[in-house]
């Protein structure tokens, strides 16, 4: 799939290093790895602001849509319109819906239909794929 923002692996690695991203950010965002539950810096983060793609800066989620799902990863009820793409994921012997950044294709996490809010969705994201900007 083509995305508006494209770079080589070496360019993504250099960009993430320049941004001071977590050491696992390249593996998570560009190679679809998953961080360990309860280990990400945004799992228990509740400040007002917005969450952006660590790779390209695309605004993904507002802090008001974040909730505590108890799953160990930052969870959101609603993505910003057009900010993410959903892709069927058959890895690890499961059928899930992968969530990627609509601008650069960075792996963000997965979305599930077991959320407690009116959307019924739980966007379960990796902190290593996110950057937070306070309001």
List the catalytic residues. 124
Burial class (CB in 10 A: 0-12, 13-18, 19+), 85: middle
Two tokens, residue 10: 């070496």
Pairwise CA distance, residues 126 & 25, whole Å: 9
By the 8 A CB rule, do 108 and 96 touch?
Answer: no
Provide the CA 36 distance to its chain's centre, in angstroms: 14
């Amino acid at each position: 799939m083509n995305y508006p923002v494209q770079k080589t692996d070496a360019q993504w690695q250099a960009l993430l290093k320049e941004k001071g991203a977590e050491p696992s950010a390249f593996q998570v965002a560009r190679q679809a790895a998953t961080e360990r539950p309860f280990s990400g810096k945004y799992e228990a983060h509740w400040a007002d602001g917005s969450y952006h793609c660590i790779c390209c800066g695309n605004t993904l989620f507002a802090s008001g849509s974040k909730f505590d799902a108890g799953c160990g990863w930052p969870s959101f009820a609603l993505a910003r319109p057009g900010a993410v793409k959903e892709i069927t994921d058959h890895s690890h012997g499961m059928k899930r819906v992968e969530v990627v950044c609509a601008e650069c294709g960075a792996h963000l996490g997965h979305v599930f239909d077991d959320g407690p809010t009116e959307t019924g969705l739980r966007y379960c994201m990796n902190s290593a794929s996110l950057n937070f900007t306070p309001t």
